[in-house]
Amino acid sequence: MARLALCIGINNYPGTGMDLKGCVNDARDWAAALTARGYTVRSLIDARATKAAMVAGLRRIIKAAKRGDHLVITFSGHGTYQPDTNDDEADGLDEALCPYDLKTKGALTDDEIRALFLKLDPGARLLLLSDSCHSGTVTRAAPADADADGPRPRFMPMGNWLPQAALPRRRGGGVAATVVAPTTGSAFRGVVASRPGDLLMSGCREGPNNYSYDASFRSRPNGAFTYYALKTLHTLPPAATYADWHRRIGEHLPSASFPQSPQLVGVAAMKKHKVLA
């Protein structure tokens, strides 16, 4: 039985004005924790996490996995959505992850992710850990303040990366200020829906007005979800399940500083599996 992991962390989003601070630390922290538990880990950090590299990395780990293997994929970075182009979304939007070269190569959509994972051996077990969010406005957000240490949502508005002609329009023809956010807003959600033996643990609930936050703890940047997920992971008893882990994280989030509610998505039987075993 092989244990394979891919950890992705992106702070730098050239041309968007929406850089983050804690995502690279997240990826490195996940990689260290998973390595300590016997996983063979590959990492994609900042400029190495282009869209092409993310697709290649996912394809590589999917191809390598066999029945009985355990896979973990972690993503820390911006989430976004974009107008649906193949009419398979009732809300008219594709949920997506933001690669390093988002501005030039576009987002990695839920459709693309789902297509990749449909090739995964059905006997392999998959855990997706997503510290990003997919809820916000269309209009361009103000650039990140390089000196600010306050929490920042890990959401990339469409106005910060899509060309003007591609943005959703109001009935009168102008660019929309907002859209109704998808009720199932994670780009990874479709993987779990199509592979019921898998689990998704994400930093926040799906739908409007739910965010995962870029934060700082003891002057070190991290995602709030990643920080507390790893803090509790290290104190779990040996027989703890994913449901136990999720409950422990829930003792810390939401909080006054980080109003986000981590979510565990999957069938009940999978939630009762022993953590990372």
pLDDT tens digit sequence for 21-31: 999 999 999 99
Is 170 part of any domain?
yes
Is residue 204's pLDDT more than 60? yes
Structural domain boundaries, residue 188: 3-271
pLDDT at residue number 183: 58
> What span, in angstroms and rounded, lies between the C-alpha atoms of 130 and 29?
14
Is 11 part of any domain?
yes
> What span, in angstroms and rounded, lies between the C-alpha atoms of 199 and 274?
12
What's the order of all strands across the beta sheet hosting 220-223?
A: 152-153, 213-217, 220-223
Is residue 238's pLDDT more than 80? yes
- Total tally of structural domains belonging to the chain: 1
Is 277 part of any domain?
no
- State the catalytic residue, choosing from 7, 23, 133, 204: 133
pLDDT averaged over the chain? 90
Q: Is 119 helix (H, G, I), strand (E, B) or coil?
A: coil
Is 120 part of any domain?
yes
pTM for the whole thing? 0.93
Task: Return the CATH number at 195.
Answer: 3.40.50.1460
Is residue 59's pLDDT more than 60? yes
- State the catalytic residue, choosing from 78, 134, 204, 246: 78
Is 26 part of any domain?
yes
pLDDT at residue number 239: 96
Is residue 74's pLDDT more than 90? yes
pLDDT at residue number 178: 64
Q: Would you place residue 184 in the very low, low, confident or very high pLDDT band (cuts 50, 70, 90)?
A: low
Establish whether 78 is a catalytic residue: yes
Establish whether 98 is a catalytic residue: no
Is 276 part of any domain?
no
Angle at 13 between CA 109 and CA 108, to 5 degrees: 10
Closest by Cα among 222, 197, 207 to 91: 207
